[in-house]
Amino acid sequence: MTELPGRRLLLVHAHPDDESINNGVTMARYAAEGAHVTLVTCTLGERGEVIPPELAHLSGAALGGHRRGELAEAMRALGVDDFRLLGGPGRFSDSGMMGLADNDDPGCLWQADVDAAAALLVDVIREVRPQVLVTYDPDGGYGHPDHIQAHRVAMRAVELAAEAGCPVAKVYWNRVPRSWADAAFARLRDELPGLPFEKAAGVEDVPGVVDDERITTEIHGEGTEYAAAKAAAMRAHATQVTVAEPYFVLSNDLAQPIITTEYYELVRGERGGGEGREHDLFAGISGGDVTEEAS
């Protein structure tokens, strides 16, 4: 029998690197505080665009295998031991960007039966009994088919788990407040001449930007060891991300700020922590150790 910690967090993401870019501070904080942090990644990102020229030969399964190694390195940086691929390695492949022929691959996540994929996630929920789940909004943040499908799978799994007697107390979607984005990109425009990047992205390029009033929760990281861990985890995903703190670029070569205070919208469960925004995803949840049978 294995006893799980009193606080248990599950994150559901589409590809390796999504977790570090979106939730690196949050994962590092809760791992350091002794919570059980579980990451479920739905695909290996086999169709991602590779940045470093020396790795440009990687594609398909070879790229997926390499990105799996990057994910392991990122998790070491964040202090997270429990990270898994939905259904095991290769169960669902990267679907490519929306509208491409890749979307029609019968083995890709976009083509997966949502209930069948959600059942695989329910198995994880039954094992680790998370009180909190974090995933994307219905648009997947920016419309990528794998992000949209990861959202659908995660939300359906929460429903199925509740029916099976394993309720998840709180569900959050990744968000960015518009006021923060506006201010951060204004600073980026001023600082761009001194950066190793030639062009800047815009607020419209950031997934999940919403009006400030929709933000229910923020996890502070600026100037902390958690922000440093996040930057290290992002660097680990070298095929996809180039970091020059406090900024980074993806394969589009457009600079954008690293988000060191991470923001969320509570969409299921009761808000805790009194007035204003929560500063703890577990606010209002009564802790309690859970004993599971070792597999």
Rounded Cα–Cα distance for residues 241 and 233 (Å) = 10
Residue 192 identity (one-letter amino acid): L
Backbone angles phi, psi at 72, to 5 degrees: -60, -40
Nearest to 80 by CA among 33, 44, 21: 33
List CB contacts of 230: < 8 A, sequence separation 6 or more.
20, 24, 25, 28, 78, 221, 258, 260
Residue 15 in marked binding region: yes
Residue 147 in marked binding region: yes
Which positions make up the binding site for Zn(2+)? Answer: 15, 18, 147
Which positions make up the binding site? Answer: 15, 18, 147
